[in-house]
């Protein structure tokens, strides 16, 4: 077979494979491209994957010493769907929250809620009671499935918010309702008979922004399934671009290790949801441990690893210590944060059978965006890659919304079915971010003549700690609660392991002092632990101002990092 260019391969697949046929449609008054023949809803992905999972007979979910075939998983999904509708009285459009670590039940619940037309509210499992209170009030979710640790944090909110709490795993027995009882008592394990709008809401997933409180990103069914089939198409065009040898063995069944939280798009969309039509097996880790990850990949013939850059680096070091080459791994991806350029060649050398990949996407785009793999990435380790075809569009804009020439810094803007419907309850933020269907991402970059995008900076004041987005204003708001803090500025501090960690400079009242340990103890319960500043600079003078008399966060950060005498 003669190798095709990427552009020719995309055109060939779109024109000859009905699954990936594209048409033009109008959604919310905007003309976009979208896949024509794919499932219309997220629960439709479950049925679409039946044949790919051996007509339901192949093992689908593995978690520690537990296992579910695809048929068993599907039956559990539908039983939970019937229980939600028939026993709890939930209906289409109702928002149902999920608050737990990466358990198999989380995957079941995502599809069960979707199967009755409900809207999944993904709750960050690290949030405090205060943060949970905000998200549940904002989403108006009254039913919450929670494991033990989350149940403890939710109990103080039960009466004031009128919550129905349902225990999962170690959360069972802490309240009147348990997931296992609901599931086992359901009347049917067939799909609920519900009509679901393709452009209806699938999920609310919270993403930190510059406004302090996280924003609820409303994702639609069309957005999620178009993202899934955009990634699925990559596996179809890859052998057209780089044809395998005639005597090459058949590709193994795809098998993914989930190591990042399922309340973020990096795990839910390109791993879990993609696994359904791709026929892939999913293995869940109870908690990240690099050596355990090496053992799971080795013993379970896992082919796909997608984590934050820190996890890739730790996996590499653990594999070296253990003398493991992990030859079954053919994809080693990175999401949530930019991988250090020097790490790309190191990973390629350590795992020669794996295509080292990078990706850029957002909660607002259902994780779909830009990416590249293999030699392209090794040749451009500072680059984010190219736009994933064929339904997305890309522009680089100046501050006035005008296109900038290739090679010029601009704000990345994307358009397509993958773009969120809105920010929940935030019409002004929605109107500012989505303009005529174009999502203004807040990320600055450069597009070259070959279509590669290099991301340079963020317009938003966000700290990305190991893939977790932390709003500077969120941290500053918590610091201002301290009675001795007059002003505060939070910013990122470089970290070899996590990429960035939280630092802060504060102005204290005269005659007072504050150590990092005292500050951390004060913030405990007000902020999730990963948001609490690790480095603290204190002063009694006013923090540096800019020309508009606002705190100059960038100048403060530069001065603090130049003076490393912070309290750590």
What is the rounded average pLDDT of the residues 325-336? 93
Q: How many CA atoms lie within 13 A of 183 on its CB side?
A: 22
Pairing verdict, β 281-284 and 59-63: parallel
Pairing verdict, β 422-423 and 215-220: antiparallel
Amino acid 464: pLDDT: 86
Pairing verdict, β 22-27 and 30-35: antiparallel
Residue 487: band (very low, low, confident or very high) from pLDDT cuts 50, 70, 90: confident
Say how far apart CA 32 and CA 27 lie, in whole Å: 7
Residue 337: band (very low, low, confident or very high) from pLDDT cuts 50, 70, 90: confident
Reference 207, options 266, 274, 284; nearest CA is 266
Q: Using one digit for the tens of pLDDT, what is the confidence trace for 438-471?
A: 999 999 889 999 999 998 767 777 788 888 878 7
The residues spanned by each domain of the chain are 462-562
Q: For all residues of the chain together, what is the average pLDDT?
A: 94
Q: Give how far Cα 94 sits from Cα of 161, 366, 448, 484, 487, Å.
A: 16, 21, 45, 44, 41
Whether the pLDDT of residue 416 is over 50: the answer is: yes
Q: Are 378 and 347 in contact (CB under 8 A)?
A: no
Whether the pLDDT of residue 209 is over 60: the answer is: no
Q: Using one digit for the tens of pLDDT, what is the confidence trace for 252-287?
A: 999 999 999 999 999 999 999 999 999 999 999 999
Reference 122, options 22, 18, 266; nearest CA is 266
Length of the chain, in residues = 568
Q: Using one digit for the tens of pLDDT, what is the confidence trace for 239-261?
A: 999 999 888 888 899 999 999 99
Give me the helix-helix angle, 221-241 and 6-16, nearest 10°.
120
Say how far apart CA 168 and CA 170 lie, in whole Å: 6
Whether the pLDDT of residue 210 is over 50: the answer is: no
Pairing verdict, β 410-415 and 201-207: unpaired
Say how far apart CA 538 and CA 556 lie, in whole Å: 12
Low-confidence winner among 260-274, 307-321, 330-344, 421-435 (lowest mean pLDDT) = 330-344
Say how far apart CA 139 and CA 94 lie, in whole Å: 10
Amino acid 470: pLDDT: 86
532: phi then psi, degrees, rounded to nearest 5: -70, 130
Assign 3-class secondary structure to 424-483: CCCHHHHHHHEECCEEEEEEEEEECCCCCEEEEEECCCEEEECCEEEEHHHHHHHHCCCC
Long-range contacts of 549-552 (CB under 8 A, 24+ apart): 551/487, 551/489
Describe the chain by its helix, strand, coil percentages, rounded to 5: 35, 25, 35
What is the rounded average pLDDT of the residues 289-304? 97
Residue 526 or 155, more confident: 155
CATH superfamily of 462-562: ANL, C-terminal domain (3.30.300.30)
What is the rounded average pLDDT of the residues 371-383? 94
Amino acid 323: pLDDT: 97
Q: Using one digit for the tens of pLDDT, what is the confidence trace for 100-129?
A: 999 999 999 999 999 999 999 999 999 999
Reference 316, options 296, 343, 298; nearest CA is 343
Whether the pLDDT of residue 213 is over 90: the answer is: no
pTM of the model: 0.87
Amino acid 309: pLDDT: 86
245 contact partners, CB below 8 Å, separation of at least 6: none
Say how far apart CA 56 and CA 407 lie, in whole Å: 50
Amino acid 566: pLDDT: 58
Say how far apart CA 161 and CA 179 lie, in whole Å: 21
Amino acid 197: pLDDT: 98
Whether the pLDDT of residue 187 is over 70: the answer is: yes
């Amino acid at each position: 077979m003669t190798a095709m260019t990427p552009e020719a391969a995309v055109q060939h697949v779109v024109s000859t494979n009905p699954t990936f046929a594209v048409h033009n449609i109008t959604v919310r008054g905007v003309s976009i491209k979208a896949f024509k023949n794919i499932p219309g809803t997220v629960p439709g992905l479950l049925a679409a994957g039946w044949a790919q999972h051996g007509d339901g007979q192949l093992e689908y979910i593995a978690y520690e010493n537990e296992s579910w075939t695809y048929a068993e998983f599907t039956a559990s999904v539908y039983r939970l769907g019937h229980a939600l509708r028939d026993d709890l009285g939930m209906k289409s459009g109702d928002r149902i929250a999920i608050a737990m670590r990466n358990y198999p039940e989380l995957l079941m619940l995502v599809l069960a809620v979707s199967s009755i037309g409900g809207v999944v509210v993904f709750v960050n499992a690290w949030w405090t009671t205060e943060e949970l209170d905000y998200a549940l009030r904002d989403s108006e979710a009254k039913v919450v499935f929670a494991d033990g640790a989350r149940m403890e944090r939710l109990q103080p909110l039960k009466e004031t918010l009128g919550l129905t709490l349902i225990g999962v795993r170690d959360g069972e027995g802490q309240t009147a309702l348990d997931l296992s009882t609901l599931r086992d008592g359901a009347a049917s394990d067939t799909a609920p008979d519900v009509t679901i709008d393709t452009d209806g809401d699938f999920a609310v997933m919270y993403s930190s922004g510059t406004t302090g409180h996280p924003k609820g990103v409303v994702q639609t069914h069309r957005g999620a399934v178009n993202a899934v089939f955009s990634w699925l198409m990559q596996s179809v065009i890859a052998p057209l671009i780089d044809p395998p040898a005639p005597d090459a063995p058949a590709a193994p069944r795809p098998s993914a290790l989930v190591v990042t939280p399922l309340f973020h798009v990096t795990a839910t969309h390109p791993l879990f949801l993609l696994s359904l039509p791709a026929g892939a097996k999913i293995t869940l880790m109870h908690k990240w441990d690099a050596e355990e990850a090496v053992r799971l990949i080795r013993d379970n013939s896992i082919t796909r690893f997608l984590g934050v850059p820190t996890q890739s680096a730790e996996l590499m070091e653990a594999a070296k210590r253990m003398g493991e080459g992990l030859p079954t791994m053919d994809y080693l991806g990175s999401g949530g944060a930019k991988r250090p350029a020097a790490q790309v060649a190191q990973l390629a050398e350590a795992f020669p059978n794996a295509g080292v990949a990078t990706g850029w996407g957002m909660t607002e785009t259902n994780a779909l965006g830009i990416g590249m793999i293999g030699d392209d990435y090794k040749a451009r380790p500072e680059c984010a890659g190219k736009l994933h075809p064929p339904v997305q569009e890309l522009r680089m804009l100046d501050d006035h919304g005008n296109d900038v020439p290739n090679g010029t810094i601009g704000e990345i803007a994307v358009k397509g079915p993958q773009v969120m419907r809105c920010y929940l309850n935030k019409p002004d933020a929605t109107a500012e971010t989505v303009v005529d269907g174009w999502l203004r991402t807040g990320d600055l970059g450069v597009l070259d003549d070959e279509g590669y995008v290099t991301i340079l900076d963020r317009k938003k004041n966000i700290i990305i700690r190991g893939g977790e987005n932390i709003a500077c204003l969120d941290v500053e708001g918590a610091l201002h609660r301290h009675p001795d803090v007059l002003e505060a500025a939070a910013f990122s501090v470089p970290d070899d392991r996590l990429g960035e960690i939280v630092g802060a400079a504060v102005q204290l009242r005269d005659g007072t002092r504050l150590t990092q340990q005292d500050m951390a103890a004060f913030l405990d319960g007000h902020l999730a632990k990963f948001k609490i500043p690790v480095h603290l600079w204190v002063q009694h003078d006013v923090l540096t101002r800019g020309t508009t008399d606002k705190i100059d966060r960038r100048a403060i950060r530069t001065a603090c990092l130049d003076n490393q005498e912070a309290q750590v």
